[in-house]
Amino acid sequence: MTGLRVAACQTPEILGDVDAALTCVEDFARRAGDADLLLFPECFLQGYLVEADHLTRYALDLRSAEFAAVCRRLAPIRPTVVLGVIERREDRLLNSAVVLDRGELSGCYRKTHLVPGEALFDPGDAYPVFDRNGVRFGINICYDAQFPAAAAAVAAQDADVLLLPTQNMMRRENAERWKPRHNEIRRQRVRETGMWLVSADVTGERGSERVGLGPTCAINPAGEVVAQVPPMTVGHIVVEISRRYQVPG
C-alpha cells in the first residue's frame, strides 16, 4: 500500500538568521528518521516579522543565487521539505511555502488570504497540488484555514492531505483565547473536504508580550486529532497518510 509519512515540525521562532533556520531544518531531518516529507512553519526560513525593514532585508527571489544556495544546503535531505519563506518576485512580496525535493524546487504555494497586518504582502492566486509516494497534497498557510474555499480548492484536485504551515506567535491574551479555536477551525475544513490536515507552528516566547503555543498537529478525515506536539515544546509528530483516490496514469 502506498503511503506518505509526514513529519510536522514545531520549531523555535528564528528571526533574521537563515543559517540557524537551515540548521534547524537539518536537525529535524535527522530526528524524523524515515519520514517522507518534512513540514515547517510559515515564513520559517527568514522568520515571520511583517515589518518593512525585515522584509526588505530578508526576502528572497526564488530565481536568485541566494535561494540557490539555500537549495544546495538542503540537497542532502532525503524527504521532501515544505518550507515557509518570504518571497520577492519583481516588486512584490509574498508569503510563500516552497516544496523542495533533494534541493530542487518542485513548486510553490503563495498565501491567498492575508490578515490586515500583512498589507506589505501581495496575495497569491493559485492552489497547486503535488504527488509523493502515490499521495497527493496541497497547501494553505495559517489564516487561509479560516476560509472554506481555500481548502476546497485543494480538495477539488483529489488531494488526500492539506498541509498548513502556521505562525501563531501571539500576544499572550490572544494566544490563550485562540488556543482551543485553532483545531476547531481545522476540524471544520477536514469535515468539509474529507482530507487529512497537518499543521506546523512555532513555539516559545518573544520577549514578555508574545508566546507561541502551536498547535502542531495532525487531524484525520474523521476530524480526530491523532497526534499533537505539546505547547511550549520543540518537537515533531509523524503520521502516515494513504491515497484515497486513483491518480490517472
Cell of 149: 474555499
Contact residues for 99 (Cβ-Cβ < 8 A; gap 6+): 80, 81, 82, 105, 106, 107, 108, 109, 130, 139
Neighbours of 185 (CB within 10 A): 12
Q: Is 179 a catalytic residue?
A: no
Q: Is 42 a catalytic residue?
A: yes
Burial of residue 225, with CB atoms counted within 10 A of its CB: 0-12 exposed, 13-18 middle, 19 or more buried: middle
User: Rounded CA gap, 79 and 193, in Å?
Assistant: 26
3-state secondary structure of 214: coil
Catalytic residue among 9, 43, 108, 142: 142
User: Which of 9, 43, 111, 217 is an active site residue?
Assistant: 111
Active site residue 142: yes
Among candidate residues 13, 24, 42, 108, the one labeled active-site is: 42
Active site residues: 42, 111, 142
